[in-house]
């Protein structure tokens, strides 16, 4: 089912983008959360009436089960109404649980935002993902690129009435049908004169249809929102047709071709037809025993036979038949090639459920997909050099999957007989690079958070991580140990939805140089509940929802040995009784315990102790050193300028630089220079692509 998640950050964007303007403050807009099923009806059940005859394409068994077990991806698109505007496109979804009450229906699994404020949308789903921002599917007829599109739109439960929906009355059903028409074309030799010499008979024909008349559309843009076909490629041709059928995938106009002379050119073997030959008109054709008009209807499958004698077409026969795009069975039908996967001592290969083996040779990359069967990985086929147990040319790498998604990508594979040995695979499927463990997938980070890090081990994030790309639910339960280091390498963590007080319960190591770009923290801090190590050059942009107690934008409590340097919090703290923009409470009395930090997120004004940087702190000298917060974020009474760097305001604990500032001042060269005076080895910069506020980066 589609999780329709309303997040505060998304709400602001949506209200500004598609909901009419309001004089009320955005923060007053009520947000609700709902879980609305979008059910799938008839993906492979396609029947059409044609002169009383039903064209059945129902496959054996329950085809949706095969789609579900194979993890076949579908895609969602939506457009607002009545003012058409693309709301989203290419949103990945998969087939979910079978509906127990409605026969032939499965739920769809995926995450999308529904428009707020009763703004209606039209909802579509489709196979393939080559859709542009105008909602057009690019169709490549006659190729294998787009030949099996299924297209569906939001409907009533019976699947017959198209519907739009909104946040209060969402679309609950999507009914699918085929978009393209399959035509198997062949020729039939009419040997009326009794020639027995095979060489006298035509071997092949080619013909071109006049695209200017618009009767057959080959390549075109199909707009999924209004059902129109545009930008046809002009003339369309059946090329090199022989006795062996050749398959074409068309987007026909549905027009009746009977009586039309639309053949623009005709070639039989080496004979190029004369103008008089091209006057041939389509006529009544055979469908079973019935005579019907010559029409190609969307979503059906046909045999199209050209009956020829010598150098002339005698008849064109069109026969409706079943279109079976996918077998109801998922068995291969022959013995697979089985390999044993060995991953070394640090990772248990038994958790791997699928692997994509990539063989690179001669500038080409060939992929072989294997699935877990018992204690083996079964492949349909493998490179010859691998099946022999050696690799005489090229290289092997692999992507490894578990039930929770992609675990590790592009790992090095060394073949040995019937074994595939994964080299340098470490904890949680991370690649080992020297003394560092590289985090390259969302699943690896999720496992590090949920299962914990190892003392004195160095971890490094090597690329941005979108946490929606793993099914693992994040819950804070482990401490980050002493001597361990998590180097974010300047990368982003997106859509971090976590239940608990930050990434870790306690930090005794070093956490540095990453940005939580979006998400929701259902706890009291974004990074850790207690910091007794180092937190440096970290940016948090996720909103924080504390239940109560001590809450901070970066840490709940900064312990006696904890330091926080060059961090920025832009997330809103939506609760807590002791609240600070960086830390809720501080136990470190040392000068510069919290230095060169910024808070621009809104803080809970109902908090008992409220500080722009720290909620409460022990006494000390210059504990807060050169830190700034956005004016108004820590103001308990809107009518008075009563903001403090530290809520309980111990004497001398704040240096003379730290203060609340307007947005323009925080972005000024003067303030950035002051921050850089105490932020070493980090350098603050304004990078508009990453943040509208100064954030710390590594030295150039």
Write the pLDDT tens digit of every residue in 119-158: 788 888 887 777 887 888 877 655 554 456 778 888 887 7
Instruction: Please compute the mean of the pLDDT values over residues 677-692 and round it to a whole number.
Output: 91
The structure tokens 């008009």 sit at: 293
| Band of pLDDT at residue 286, cut at 50, 70 and 90 | low
Q: Does residue 390 sit in the same domain as residue 473?
A: no
Instruction: Please compute the mean of the pLDDT values over residues 639-650 and round it to a whole number.
Output: 87
Select from 144, 179, 214 the last residue of a domain.
Answer: 179
Write the pLDDT tens digit of every residue in 256-265: 777 777 788 8
| Count: domains in the chain | 4
Does residue 586 register a pLDDT over 90?
A: yes
Report the 3 state secondary structure along 426-469. Answer: CHHHCEEECCEEEECCHHHHHHHHHHCCCCCCEEEECCCEEHHH
Query: Are 135 and 77 in contact, with CB atoms under 8 Å apart?
Result: yes
Q: How many residues does the chain have?
A: 700
Q: Does residue 475 sit in the same domain as residue 585?
A: yes
Does residue 71 register a pLDDT over 60?
A: yes
Does residue 329 register a pLDDT over 60?
A: no
* pLDDT for residue 430: 96
* pLDDT for residue 330: 39
* pLDDT for residue 218: 66
**Distance from C-alpha of 421 to C-alpha of 390, rounded to nearest angstrom:** 12
Q: Does residue 347 sit in the same domain as residue 283?
A: no
| Band of pLDDT at residue 213, cut at 50, 70 and 90 | low
Closest Cα partner for 46 from 179, 217, 142? 179
Q: Does residue 217 sit in the same domain as residue 365?
A: no
Select from 140, 160, 179 the last residue of a domain.
Answer: 179
Neighbours of 288 (CB within 10 A): 10
Q: Does residue 457 sit in the same domain as residue 484?
A: yes
Q: Does residue 375 sit in the same domain as residue 518?
A: no
Q: What residues contact 659, with CB distance under 8 A and at least 6 apart?
A: 628, 645
Q: Does residue 73 sit in the same domain as residue 208?
A: no
**Distance from C-alpha of 596 to C-alpha of 591, rounded to nearest angstrom:** 12
Does residue 29 register a pLDDT over 70?
A: no
Instruction: Please compute the mean of the pLDDT values over residues 315-331 and round it to a whole number.
Output: 57
Q: Does residue 217 sit in the same domain as residue 289?
A: yes
Read off the tokens for 246.
Answer: 């050749």
Does residue 58 register a pLDDT over 50?
A: no
Judging by DSSP bridges, how do beta strands 504-507 and 528-531 pair with one another?
parallel
Range with the lowest mean pLDDT among 77-91, 471-485, 609-623? 77-91
What percentage of residues in the chain have a pLDDT greater than 90?
A: 41
CATH number, residue 367 = 2.60.40
Query: Are 457 and 437 in contact, with CB atoms under 8 Å apart?
Result: yes
348 assigned to some structural domain: yes
Closest Cα partner for 142 from 237, 210, 241? 237
Q: Which H/E stretch holds residue 302?
A: strand 301-309
CATH number, residue 642 = 2.160.20
329 assigned to some structural domain: no
Q: Does residue 415 sit in the same domain as residue 455?
A: no
Does residue 566 register a pLDDT over 50?
A: yes
Select from 390, 409, 425 the last residue of a domain.
Answer: 425
In this predicted model, which residue has the larger pLDDT, 442 or 259?
Answer: 442
552 assigned to some structural domain: yes
Q: Does residue 6 sit in the same domain as residue 115?
A: yes
439 assigned to some structural domain: no
383 assigned to some structural domain: yes
Neighbours of 397 (CB within 10 A): 17
103 assigned to some structural domain: yes
438 assigned to some structural domain: no
The structure's pTM equals 0.57
Q: Does residue 654 sit in the same domain as residue 576?
A: yes
Kindly list the distances between the CA atom of residue 128 and the CA atoms of 75, 132, 136, 370, 564, in Å, as whole numbers in the listed order.
Answer: 7, 12, 12, 22, 47
Closest Cα partner for 464 from 439, 498, 484, 447? 439
Instruction: Please compute the mean of the pLDDT values over residues 659-684 and round it to a whole number.
Output: 96
Neighbours of 56 (CB within 10 A): 15
> What average pLDDT is seen over the chain?
79
Q: Which H/E stretch holds residue 498?
A: strand 496-499
Neighbours of 222 (CB within 10 A): 24
Write the pLDDT tens digit of every residue in 359-404: 888 888 888 888 898 889 988 777 877 766 777 788 899 999 999 9
Q: Does residue 396 sit in the same domain as residue 305?
A: no
331 assigned to some structural domain: no
Provide the domain limits for residue 211.
Answer: 182-321
């Amino acid at each position: 089912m589609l999780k329709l998640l309303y997040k505060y950050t998304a709400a602001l964007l949506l209200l500004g983008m598609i909901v009419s303007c309001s004089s009320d403050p955005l923060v007053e807009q009520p947000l609700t959360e709902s879980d609305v099923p979008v059910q799938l009806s008839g993906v492979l059940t396609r029947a059409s009436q044609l002169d009383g005859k039903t064209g059945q394409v129902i496959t054996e068994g329950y085809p949706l089960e095969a789609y579900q077990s194979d993890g076949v991806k579908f895609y969602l698109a939506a457009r607002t109404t009545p003012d058409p505007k693309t709301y989203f496109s290419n949103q990945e979804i998969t087939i979910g649980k079978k509906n127990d009450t409605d026969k032939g229906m499965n739920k769809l699994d995926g995450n999308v935002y529904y428009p707020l404020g009763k703004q209606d949308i039209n909802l579509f789903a489709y196979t393939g993902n080559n859709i542009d921002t105008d909602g057009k599917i690019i169709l490549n007829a006659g190729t294998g690129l787009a030949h099996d599109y299924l297209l569906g739109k939001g409907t009533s439960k019976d699947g017959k009435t198209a519907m739009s929906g909104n946040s209060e009355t969402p679309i609950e059903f999507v009914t699918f049908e085929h978009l393209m028409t399959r035509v198997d074309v062949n020729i039939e030799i009419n040997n009326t004169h009794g020639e027995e010499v095979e060489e006298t008979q035509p071997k092949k024909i080619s013909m071109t249809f006049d695209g200017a008349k618009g009767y057959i559309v080959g390549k075109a843009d199909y707009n999924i929102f209004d059902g129109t076909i545009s930008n046809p490629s002009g003339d369309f041709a059946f090329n090199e047709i022989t006795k062996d059928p050749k398959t074409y995938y068309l987007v026909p106009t549905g027009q009746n071709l009977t009586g039309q002379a639309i053949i623009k050119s005709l070639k039989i073997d080496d004979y190029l037809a004369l103008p008089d030959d091209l006057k041939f008109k389509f006529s009544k054709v055979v469908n079973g025993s019935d005579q019907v008009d010559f029409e190609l209807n969307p979503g059906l499958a046909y045999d199209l036979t050209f009956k020829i004698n010598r150098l002339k077409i005698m008849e064109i026969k069109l026969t409706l038949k079943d279109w079976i795009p996918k077998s109801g069975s998922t068995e291969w039908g022959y013995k697979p090639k089985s390999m044993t996967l060995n991953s070394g001592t640090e990772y248990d290969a038994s958790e791997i459920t699928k692997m994509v083996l990539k063989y690179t040779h001669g500038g080409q990359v060939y992929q072989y997909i294997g699935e877990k069967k018992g204690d083996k990985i079964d492949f349909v086929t493998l490179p010859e050099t691998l099946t022999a147990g050696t690799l005489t040319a090229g290289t092997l790498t692999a992507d490894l999957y578990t039930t929770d998604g992609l675990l590790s990508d592009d790992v090095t594979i060394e073949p040995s007989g019937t074994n595939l040995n994964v080299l340098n695979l470490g904890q949680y499927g991370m690649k080992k690079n020297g003394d560092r463990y590289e985090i390259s997938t969302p699943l690896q980070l999720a496992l590090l958070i949920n299962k914990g890090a190892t003392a004195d081990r160095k971890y490094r994030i090597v690329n941005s991580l979108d946490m929606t790309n793993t099914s693992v639910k994040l819950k804070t339960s482990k401490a980050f140990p002493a001597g361990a280091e998590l180097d974010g390498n300047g990368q982003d963590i997106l859509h971090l939805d976590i239940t608990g007080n930050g990434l870790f319960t306690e930090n005794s190591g070093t956490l540095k140089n990453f940005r939580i770009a979006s998400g929701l923290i259902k706890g009291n801090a974004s990074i850790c509940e207690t910091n007794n190590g180092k937190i440096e050059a970290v940016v948090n942009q996720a909103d924080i929802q504390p239940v109560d107690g001590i809450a901070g934008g970066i840490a709940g409590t900064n312990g006696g040995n904890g330091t926080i340097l060059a961090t920025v919090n832009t997330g809103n703290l939506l609760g807590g009784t002791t609240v600070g923009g960086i830390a809720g409470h501080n136990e470190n009395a040392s000068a510069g315990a919290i230095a060169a930090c910024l808070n621009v997120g809104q803080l809970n004004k109902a908090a008992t102790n409220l500080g722009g940087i720290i909620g409460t702190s022990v006494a000390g000298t210059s504990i807060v050193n050169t830190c700034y917060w956005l004016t108004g974020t820590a103001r308990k009474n809107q009518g008075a300028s009563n903001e403090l760097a530290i809520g309980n305001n111990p004497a001398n604990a704040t240096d003379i630089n730290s203060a609340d500032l307007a947005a323009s001042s925080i972005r000024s060269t003067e303030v950035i220079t002051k921050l850089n005076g105490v932020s070493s080895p980090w350098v603050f910069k304004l990078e508009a692509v990453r943040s509208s506020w100064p954030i710390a980066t590594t030295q150039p």
